[in-house]
Amino acid sequence: MTKKISPRSRKVRILATLGPASDSPEMIRKLYLAGADAFRINMSHGDHADHAARIESIRALEKEFGRPTTILADLQGPKLRVGTFSEGVAVLKAGAKFRLDRDEAPGNATRVNLPHPEIYEALEPETRLLLDDGKLVLRVKSVTPERIDTVVEVGGALSNRKGVNIPDVVVPLAALTDKDRRDLAFAMQQKADWIALSFVQRPEDLAEARRLMGGYGALLAKIEKPAAVQRLDEILEVCDAVMVARGDLGVELPPQAVPPLQKHIVASARRLGKPVVVATQMLESMIKSPTPTRAEVSDVATAVYDGADTIMLSAETAAGDWPEEAVTIMNSIAHSVERDPGYFARLHFTETKPDATTADALAEASDSITRTVSASAIICFTASGSTVRRVSRERPIPPILTLTPRLDTARRMGLIWGVHAVRTKDIGSFEEMIAKGRRMALRHGVAAAGDKVIMVAGVPFGTPGSTNVLHVATITGDELKGREEGD
């Protein structure tokens, strides 16, 4: 028998990364019950067989609890790395000269191979190269197609195949590697709901991924390069959601620049009605500790106060010692923030002006009407999910119950603020909409007898992008009499 899981009482969503610490069906179920609304499959680690088993476990929850589950497949993206050293490691001293070249011979303290011709084309004198997550810094002095001569500004030990970051220029790299294309094909075969594209630098980077997705799923752009921040509004226009990927942002930018950037990205995404995920090191100490630091708690709370749609756990749930506890604590932090009497006032510091469309006008009106008549829920009938995103952008106080005949649409809702999605039979008339909305509000516990609910839909029904109806209904309490469970 299907066990019904009630809508989350918090608005912000939680995205949990799966990995060695959380790949058993039992642990994935624990994370779900602890509060995970969506699961991230990190394509940088593991093979397709591992990922397929995890996806099967996630989908099993859907059958067990009668609630659509959400899967995000995160592509690795182009990784820039140095070659190898004859002794496995070399010590670079500040002030010394160091060369990166096309020679594949093992390196030493004066040179190493850099097998990425695109970098040689993009660099100019006085630009920086950051090695090993920014631990070492080189300053470029001269560049040819075969070699890059630099001076070491910040030295240290550099070992085989450490990463290279180039914050000062746009590197003409394809957004998708051959591995990414294989991983994307696998993710589409597995019906992943979201695809996350790494190291986006410009809006054009999203085009190939979008084409290969073939109209299925939604595309999330990870903002982790300064170049992406400079073209943020253009990227937001062509993606379906963004992620504030603070790990690489914090490498390529001074650490103190990341908090205001986080706020800027969250606010920009909210203004355009695009879901935004805040990620990386949110509860980092919980990889080894059963409790977070006070600073980490404050960090998570800040993202919730800013109105992020989703907050993400990475290594905490993928490889940590306390995966279930990490989700439980993140869930508790979110609940605590959202119970703050000043929470909704802070949310609306970000002004979300509606576009001059009927759909946006009704989404804004639904928020206003819920406050005027103290409605218990906003019920959205949708095919594509666009209605729901518009309503969620207003950050209304009551829950948003999404009713859709499309399972893929219902599954994508797991990253969107305040939404509880239900797959249900399609409707064909205005009267049927009212009756179904009342039943579903009662069945899913978002309203009770005597409560008012707001319904938002489009006529003709089933036509994407036709939102043009707003209706206020009152629940009588007897709507479920004689009705079957799924009706």
**Cα–Cα distance, 310 to 70 (Å, whole number):** 12
Cα three-residue angle 265-271-273, rounded to 5 degrees:
100
**Cα–Cα distance, 474 to 447 (Å, whole number):** 9
**Cα–Cα distance, 119 to 166 (Å, whole number):** 9
Pairing status of strand 128-131 against strand 164-165: antiparallel
267 residue type, one letter: A
Residue 18 DSSP SS3: strand
**Cα–Cα distance, 133 to 107 (Å, whole number):** 19
**Cα–Cα distance, 233 to 238 (Å, whole number):** 9
**Cα–Cα distance, 437 to 401 (Å, whole number):** 9
**Cα–Cα distance, 153 to 128 (Å, whole number):** 9
Q: Which of 29, 40, 54, 411 is catalytic?
A: 40
Catalytic residue check, 102: no
- Phi, psi angle pair for 151, to nearest 5°: -120, 135
Q: 20-28 contacts: CB < 8 A, separation 24 or more?
A: 20/318, 20/319, 21/317, 21/318, 21/319, 21/320, 21/321, 21/323, 22/317, 22/318, 22/323, 23/50, 23/53, 23/54, 24/57, 25/57, 25/60, 27/323, 27/324, 28/54, 28/57, 28/58, 28/61
Q: Which of 30, 59, 79, 81 is catalytic?
A: 81
> If we measure between CA atoms, which residue out of 374, 389, 165, 375 comes closest to residue 274?
389
Catalytic residue check, 411: no
**Residues constituting the chain:** 487
**Cα–Cα distance, 347 to 244 (Å, whole number):** 18
Tell me which residue has tokens 């990205």.
Answer: 265
**Cα–Cα distance, 45 to 191 (Å, whole number):** 19
Catalytic residue check, 280: yes
Q: Distance of alpha carbon 386 from its chain centroid, rounded?
A: 17
Contact 138, 128 (CB under 8 A): yes
Q: How many CB atoms within 10 Å of residue 198?
A: 24
Joined tokens for residue 416: 């969107």
DSSP symbol at 19: S
Catalytic residue check, 357: no
CA atoms within 13 A on the CB side of 389: 20
For residue 430, the surrounding DSSP H or E stretch is: helix 430-443
Q: Which of 11, 13, 54, 222 is catalytic?
A: 222
Q: Which of 70, 150, 280, 402 is catalytic?
A: 280
Which are the catalytic amino acids?
40, 81, 222, 280
